[in-house]
Structure 1
């Protein structure tokens, strides 16, 4: 598995992250096989959150991988907190309690990376800073990041937080590519020119923040996958033609499309299917041409000015 530098840190990570949100859909044997396959592929970066399966997913993962000190040093574990029933919560108390609970479920003493989940408009940066300092000084968290935040929200956080923000999880797929599209349509009067994220793509590149695209196969907001979907005939035709050229699956080409971007993103792969996981990891061996990348982009209905 090809690796890359993680944000502004010295951490080297695989270029794909294994998302564990659905690991509770597997039985014990299946979960063990899935995790072992990921390790064999070099995909040793595992993404969690305290809300995945109401915490159950972290427990299942720890059991499946047989968490112990020798295993722990071979893997990179990331978790998130901040989403609660009916609200978001970046309070110092909640952050500290959530990290402790995740560590207990994951059977580990530390998280390699900890992210703040959906933005909390009641966030007080000073409180977050206090929590981060406690977590860093205690050795419970080594690197910090955010999820679904725009540049100004990150800047507000950094007003008080001294630790580098190394990652930002953002929704991105071929069909959900506004962070790319608005850059093509500067000062134009069309839908794709609408800047909905404060130029977060450029901001993250300028500030050495690794973008972790989530739902790379989804269209809309969890409306379904676009691969094999009759709603996207031209896109599937183009992806299939390029997949045939490289003798790989259409799944591989979708991830290769994201990896081709010079922002050095780390897509979060949410599949629990071993075959599809292998296909996703195979994308790290392919570099699409400029012509192929743009042809896929246009086939999704994105119009160049």
Structure 2
């Protein structure tokens, strides 16, 4: 498995395993441990979390499993996100759904994540969403405190647009090493609005959430979904695969910006598909065939 360097001392596996639906996989902690070890045997060592996943349950489910074999921690990279506040029976003190990027909230969220994940540090912490009330000085202070204490080694953002990332970057002394954004052929927004170009300008890899467009491309019946699926099938035939998800991953791998797809599946076959897709080399003709199917018209 290819490793991608985001910063000095931080390399992530090219495929990242997403934990957003871990609470839906119905596995015992022993079964979870076995599954994570099988994933790591494939070369996937980076695991993506957020405090809110599974209504604040997924980090603890992961940590319970890893606690059965603590030595695994040194061979993996743990990523988590904070800044979204959800109403949940697991957080009765939360009064509403909103954002909170205050220093106090960031530090407390990280400390709780560390406890739940059965670890004493995060390899990477991301601010989950842009916050209209963000005080960037407080975010910078939180990052400095967490880095100084050894609780977080590296920092980044998620779902930030060009101006938002640049604004925060101007305040923090800890470098922002990635932006986790939605990237797939169904939703081209981040390809067209300058977000991906900013990452290229800064020589930073992007992490891609929803690389399969949440199933819209695989099962959707809209005119756009049908049009795209036809193009994906045609390119798949040319590449020698009938697996549309492999074509989608290959489309992301082909982009020169270095995209790390987050695979959020509990099925080993789906995870292996994302790895296998790296073997397919897509031509500009094939890449643009899919791109133009999404646009619904030819490029200018």
Alignment-derived partner of residue 200 in structure 1 = 195
State TM-score, norm by structure 2. Answer: 0.89
Tell me if the contact between 2:67 and 2:118 (Cα under 8 Å) persists in the aligned partners: no
Alpha carbons of structure 1 residues 257 and 45: separation in structure 2 relative to 1, 3 Å: same
Q: Name the CA distance, whole Å, in 1 between partners of 2:105 and 2:122.
A: 16
Alpha-carbon shift at residue 245 of structure 1 (Å): 3.7
Cα distance per residue 1:46-100 (max 9 Å; x no partner):
0000000132101111233446542111001000000003210110000000000
Cα distance per residue 1:106-148 (max 9 Å; x no partner):
0001000000011111111111111111110111101100011
Q: How does 1:1-305 map to 2 (within 5 A)?
A: 1-6=1-6, 8-29=7-28, 31-66=32-67, 68-85=69-86, 86-180=97-191, 182=192, 195=193, 199-218=194-213, 224-231=215-222, 232-248=225-241, 249-303=243-297, 304-305=299-300
Q: Name the CA distance, whole Å, in 2 between partners of 1:109 and 1:273.
A: 29
Q: Name the CA distance, whole Å, in 2 between partners of 1:247 and 1:63.
A: 41
Q: Name the CA distance, whole Å, in 2 between partners of 1:74 and 1:257.
A: 29
Cα distance per residue 1:178-226 (max 9 Å; x no partner):
232x3xxxxxxxxxxxx4xxx11111111123211111112xxx6x521
Alpha carbons of structure 1 residues 68 and 178: separation in structure 2 relative to 1, 3 Å: same
Alpha-carbon shift at residue 278 of structure 1 (Å): 1.1
Alpha carbons of structure 1 residues 302 and 36: separation in structure 2 relative to 1, 3 Å: farther
Could you say which structure has the greater relative contact order, defined with CA pairs below 8 angstroms and 6 or more residues apart? Answer: 1
Alignment-derived partner of residue 186 in structure 1 = none
State TM-score, norm by structure 1. Answer: 0.87
**Structural RMSD (CA):** 1.8
Tell me if the contact between 1:9 and 1:166 (Cα under 8 Å) persists in the aligned partners: no
Structure 2 segments unaligned to the other structure (5+ residues): 87-96
Tell me if the contact between 1:175 and 1:300 (Cα under 8 Å) persists in the aligned partners: yes
After superposing the two structures, state which structure 1 stretch, 115-124 or 99-108, moved more. Answer: 115-124
